[in-house]
Amino acid sequence: MTFRTRILVGFGVIVLVPLALFGVRVRTEMASRLTAEYEGRVAALAAVIRADLTRDGAAIARRLNALTDAIAADNRFRAAVLQGSDRTYLLDYAGGAMHFAGLSMLQIQDDQGRIVSSGHFRNEYDRLEPGLPRALAAAQGGIALIQTRTPEGPVLAIARLDSLRLAGRRFTLVGGIALDSTYLAELTPDSELSVVVRLPTDSLPAATSAGAVLSEVSLPFVLESDSGSALRPARIVVSHSLGSLTALRRGVDVAFLAAVLLAGTIALLLGGWLSLRISRPLTALARKTAQIDMDRLNVSFDSERADEIGALTRLLGSMTERLRAGAAKLREAERRIAMGDLARQVNHDIKNGLTPIRNVFRHFTETAATEPDRLTTVFRERQGTVEASISYLENLAGNYARLYPAPAREPCDVRQVIRETLGRLGATGTPDLRADLAEDLPLVCTDQLVLRRILENLIGNAVDSLEARPGTVTISAMAGAPANGRLGVRIIVADTGKGMTRTELDRAFDDFYSTKPGGTGLGLSIVRRLVLDANGVLRVETQPGAGSRFIVDLPGA
């Protein structure tokens, strides 16, 4: 895991974990408080319903009592019910009485339980329903919920029983008010609360508390069509939907999610910015450090920062400086060892060639001193040895000469070689290299490898002359002066480095002369030899402190 990633993860954890804990706590507290509030409202409404039932039961009792008085005083009713006259009046009586009394149902039965008049179902006359008054008489408080028939279907009503006697016959009145959707709707002050009636005959499963807060009001129930008309408990279920709580939770969740996203985004941006501030100099430092090797120790590690990164940069710069000094010493030692080895090898090889010759000359000397007449004979005898030794030395010279093979001479495109060279040097991180190459340069007659070595040496020296300070190295190529009827090419390698003093300029092309720590002192001497081998001319223009210009004129191909 990168340092930057760690910073980002750290920021995320620091921001998101407290937010998550806060959100969970808010949700829990909110659910707890609202549920308690709902429970209170449900309980209050259940109490109101109980009070309403009691009040309605009393109102029904009063109205039925008034109706019994009215019936007792109604001669037309008496005649109809006792003598069978005016049947239409009797059948319509309960309908009118029911409406005048403000009831929703009214049923008048005779002493046999036969319906003689019904307000809510006029044409159910003559049907026997003796069980209904009996069940209502047994109901606690005299009030019960009944399911009675109408032409359009069954309806629920809160009903009571009353009775009167006419000519010794007992007539019962069952009256009530409808417990319908209107009645229930008036009980519910808002849409969150709902009131439903659960009958013992319902096939639907009982309501559970999942998704709602419940409370119940129980009251006796009679099914009119039930032959036994037994009392069974019915329930008025008050429920408060948890929909608002769910909606509130959803709202909080959305807000919380938005907060998390916002905080997370801010944390990521902040962490990214911070990590970038920290990791960018480290990355640059790592990139610079990666450039360092034994052949490239001129990497600068300057920093003005006063923090740890600045200290680390300076430390790396100091280390690089020590490495640079050590590398110079190492190269010097290697050069010395290589030169010593070469000298010893040359010494050994020459000695091997000179020793027979010296022996032959010693023999000649001794013979000339002791046997002058045999000198010719000895010369002939030893001539082969001398010639063999000379041949050996010539071979030896040829072998050493083959250590530097003869360059090829072929048309060469200066622009292409310069570009390739710059590309290669540029790829190694050499800064401030500029090229100014004229178009349509003629080809030159030299080996591309030779030209490349010339350029590499001159550009390398120019870069070194900058001594890691800001400056530029410019390589220019232009048409040169004509020679032998052909246009040549002029290559100029100019730098803004330290330049050379007159003394340094005089010795610049000497073998083994170098002003650079660890330099071999062979670079410019090789360049000069290569330019001469290419039939070219090498010139130098320099000014101490201002830079140098190395001018190479090469003949055209």
Identity of the residue, 105 or 242, whose beta carbon is nearer to other proteins in the bound complex? 105
**Residues 480/554, Cβ–Cβ less than 8 Å:** yes
- Residue 176: CB partners within 8 Å, gap ≥ 6? 60, 103, 104, 105, 146, 157, 158, 159, 160
In the complex, which residues of this chain contact other proteins (CB under 8 A)?
87-88, 91, 121-127, 149, 151-153, 225
Q: How far is it, in rounded angstroms, from Cα 402 to Cα 398?
A: 6
Q: How far is it, in rounded angstroms, from Cα 292 to Cα 453?
A: 23
Identity of the residue, 174 or 493, whose beta carbon is nearer to other proteins in the bound complex? 174
- Residue 111: CB partners within 8 Å, gap ≥ 6? 169, 170, 171
Q: CB of residue 89 vs other proteins: minimum separation in angstroms?
A: 10
Nearest to 125 by CA among 135, 112, 134, 115: 115
Q: CB of residue 94 vs other proteins: minimum separation in angstroms?
A: 13
Q: CB of residue 213 vs other proteins: minimum separation in angstroms?
A: 36
CA-to-CA separations, 252 to 25, 199, 392, in angstroms, rounded? 11, 39, 101
**Residues 548/504, Cβ–Cβ less than 8 Å:** no
Identity of the residue, 126 or 190, whose beta carbon is nearer to other proteins in the bound complex? 126
Identity of the residue, 20 or 128, whose beta carbon is nearer to other proteins in the bound complex? 128
Written as one letter, the residue type at 485 is G
Q: CB of residue 127 vs other proteins: minimum separation in angstroms?
A: 6
Q: CB of residue 116 vs other proteins: minimum separation in angstroms?
A: 11
Identity of the residue, 154 or 189, whose beta carbon is nearer to other proteins in the bound complex? 154
Q: CB of residue 138 vs other proteins: minimum separation in angstroms?
A: 24
Calculate helix-pair angle for 87-100, 3-72, nearest 10 degrees.
130
Q: How far is it, in rounded angstroms, from Cα 29 to Cα 41?
A: 19
Q: CB of residue 109 vs other proteins: minimum separation in angstroms?
A: 14
**Residues 514/521, Cβ–Cβ less than 8 Å:** yes
Identity of the residue, 63 or 120, whose beta carbon is nearer to other proteins in the bound complex? 120
Q: CB of residue 105 vs other proteins: minimum separation in angstroms?
A: 14
Identity of the residue, 107 or 457, whose beta carbon is nearer to other proteins in the bound complex? 107
Identity of the residue, 80 or 473, whose beta carbon is nearer to other proteins in the bound complex? 80
Nearest to 78 by CA among 94, 95, 90: 90
Q: CB of residue 173 vs other proteins: minimum separation in angstroms?
A: 19
CA 470 to chain CA centroid, nearest Å: 41
Q: CB of residue 73 vs other proteins: minimum separation in angstroms?
A: 22
Identity of the residue, 116 or 534, whose beta carbon is nearer to other proteins in the bound complex? 116
Nearest to 489 by CA among 446, 457, 529, 548: 446
Q: CB of residue 87 vs other proteins: minimum separation in angstroms?
A: 5
Q: How far is it, in rounded angstroms, from Cα 549 to Cα 499?
A: 9
- Residue 496: CB partners within 8 Å, gap ≥ 6? 466, 471, 472, 473, 546, 547
Identity of the residue, 99 or 277, whose beta carbon is nearer to other proteins in the bound complex? 99
Q: CB of residue 160 vs other proteins: minimum separation in angstroms?
A: 23
Q: CB of residue 247 vs other proteins: minimum separation in angstroms?
A: 39
Q: How far is it, in rounded angstroms, from Cα 535 to Cα 447?
A: 12
- The dihedrals phi and psi of 525, each to the nearest 5 degrees, come to -70, -35
Which tokens go with 530? 């290569």
Identity of the residue, 148 or 465, whose beta carbon is nearer to other proteins in the bound complex? 148
Strand order in the sheet with 433-437: 433-437, 473-483, 486-495, 547-554, 537-543
Q: How far is it, in rounded angstroms, from Cα 277 to Cα 264?
A: 19
Neighbours of 52 (CB within 10 A): 16
Identity of the residue, 87 or 165, whose beta carbon is nearer to other proteins in the bound complex? 87
Burial class from Cβ neighbours inside 10 Å (0-12, 13-18, 19+) for residue 388 reads middle
- Residue 291: CB partners within 8 Å, gap ≥ 6? 299, 428, 429
Q: How far is it, in rounded angstroms, from Cα 84 to Cα 94?
A: 16
Q: CB of residue 236 vs other proteins: minimum separation in angstroms?
A: 25
Beta strands in 101-143 (DSSP E): 105-109, 115-118
Identity of the residue, 2 or 123, whose beta carbon is nearer to other proteins in the bound complex? 123
Identity of the residue, 121 or 550, whose beta carbon is nearer to other proteins in the bound complex? 121
